[in-house]
Amino acid sequence: MFVLEGVGKTFANGFVALRDLHLRIAPGERVALLGPSGAGKTTLLRLLNATLRPTAGRLTIAGLDSRHLHGKRLRQVRRTIGTIYQQYNLVPRLRVVHNVLAGHLGRWSGWRAALSLLHPLQLDTAVAALQHVGLADRLWQRTDQLSGGEQQRVAIARVLVQDPAVILADEPVASLDPGLAEGIVRLLVDLAVQRQKTLVVSLHHVPLARAYFPRLLALQQGRLVYDGPPQGLSAAAWQALFAEAPLPAAAERAHVRPVTAFPL
């Protein structure tokens, strides 16, 4: 699904967000992305959903070189990738149904989207998505009347309506208490498994990542410092990661894998 070969990202102000990333993510994989604030996690997710382009190296999305994605082809690729954000990116004063049906916007014309604000179209898709996330009874409620955890479930329902091949989630549980956070992560993983979606989730909560994801990626100062299974990232290693100290050398040698290690 994604192939990164020597990918780097430097912003116009000279800030280097990512450096020399070699990485592959296969269709259907479930991956947790770890690292301290400023490590480059959000930048990486924005590269994967094609809202940013690399300034070095090569990124392919479903076999397409991101450097050559423009116009209609770029819009088509973006429709196959759904993104969930920490701040939900919902319209608070709209009803839940309208926020969920926004998942159709990549397929609807402008007039159809405007008409749906007056009289919701394809209502059955919103109902089905809300049933999946346990909020079927909130269909006509104003979104700003929901709790934080419920609003994040509405954001997930919107992605279900979009029905992308890939779900990216950027710190989706950072503002939730531990119990709600685990529920959201479990929901994302269950949906990815049931619907055979590729799932990449950025997390600060290492125990959640270790419990629910078979593959962990760790970034530190824009570099990939760990790529491997949960059991390979010891408590000492992840504490060093978030303290921005070097990871134990043995773990780094064992689990940072060059792109050539992945067969096509």
pTM, rounded to two decimals: 0.86
- Nearest 5°: the CA angle 180, 195, 108 is 95
Q: Where do we find the tokens 């909560």?
A: 205
Mean pLDDT, the chain, integer = 88
How many percent of the chain have pLDDT more than 70? 94
Mean pLDDT across 166-181: 88
- Residue 51 pLDDT > 90, yes or no? yes
- Residue 59 pLDDT > 60, yes or no? yes
Under 8 Å between Cβ of 130 and 139: yes
Q: Where are the beta strands (DSSP E) in 152-236?
A: 166-170, 198-203, 215-220, 223-228
What pLDDT, in 10s, does the model give residues 206-251?
A: 889 999 999 999 999 999 999 999 998 887 887 888 777 777 654 5
The answer for residues whose C-beta is within 8 angstroms of residue 74's C-beta and 6 or more apart is 50
What pLDDT, in 10s, does the model give residues 62-115?
A: 999 998 999 889 989 999 999 998 887 899 999 999 999 998 887 777 878 777
* Domains contained in the chain, CATH given: 1-80+168-264 (3.40.50.300), 89-163 (no CATH)
Enumerate the β-bridge partners of residue 201: 32, 169
Under 8 Å between Cβ of 244 and 221: yes
From the number of C-beta atoms within 10 Å of its C-beta (0-12, 13-18, 19+), residue 171 rates as buried
Q: CA–CA distance from 116 to each of 45, 113, 124, 127, 137 (Å)?
A: 30, 5, 13, 15, 20
Structure token pair of residue 190: 């269950």
Mean pLDDT across 185-201: 94
